[in-house]
């Protein structure tokens, strides 16, 4: 992983355990019944970036992935924007 990864920079003193406890406490407070983990947030963050049109290369850097194949998993998850893809043949009148 890249040492400068944005998502690796957490508040000083925060541990994986303290972050999980925080998530458990606040998801329970708002009655979210699905299990939410730090990885869930990381995954959601990456998916939202992709849906907003952020380049996979930037997402790869932010997540600290060394291999682009690891980041490409998000391309299989999101379908946002696919309805905007136009077939180039639609511009031609074949009659």
| 84, part of any domain | no
Which domain, by its residues, includes 43? 39-78
Check if the beta carbon of residue 1 is closer than 8 Å to that of residue 67. no
| 70, part of any domain | yes
| 55, part of any domain | yes
Task: Tell me the pLDDT tens digit for each residue of 19-53.
Answer: 888 888 888 988 888 888 888 888 888 888 888 88
By CB atoms closer than 10 A (0-12, 13-18, 19+), residue 71 is buried
Check if the beta carbon of residue 59 is closer than 8 Å to that of residue 2. no
Q: How many distinct structural domains can be found in the chain?
A: 1
Least confident of 2-6, 16-20, 68-72: 2-6
| 50, part of any domain | yes
Q: What one-character DSSP code corresponds to residue 84?
A: G
| 28, part of any domain | no
Task: Tell me the pLDDT tens digit for each residue of 52-90.
Answer: 888 889 999 988 889 988 888 877 766 666 666 677 777
Report residue 9 as tokens: 């920079």
| 74, part of any domain | yes
| 61, part of any domain | yes
CA Rg value for the chain: 18
């Amino acid at each position: 992983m890249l040492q400068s990864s944005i998502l690796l920079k957490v508040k000083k003193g925060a541990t994986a355990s303290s972050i999980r406890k925080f998530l458990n406490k606040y998801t329970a407070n708002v009655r979210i019944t699905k299990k939410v983990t730090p990885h869930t947030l990381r995954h959601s963050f990456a998916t939202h970036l992709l849906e907003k049109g952020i380049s996979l290369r930037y997402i790869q850097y932010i997540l600290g992935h060394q291999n682009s194949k690891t980041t490409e998993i998000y391309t299989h998850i999101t379908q946002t924007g696919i309805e905007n893809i136009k077939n180039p043949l639609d511009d031609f009148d074949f009659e």
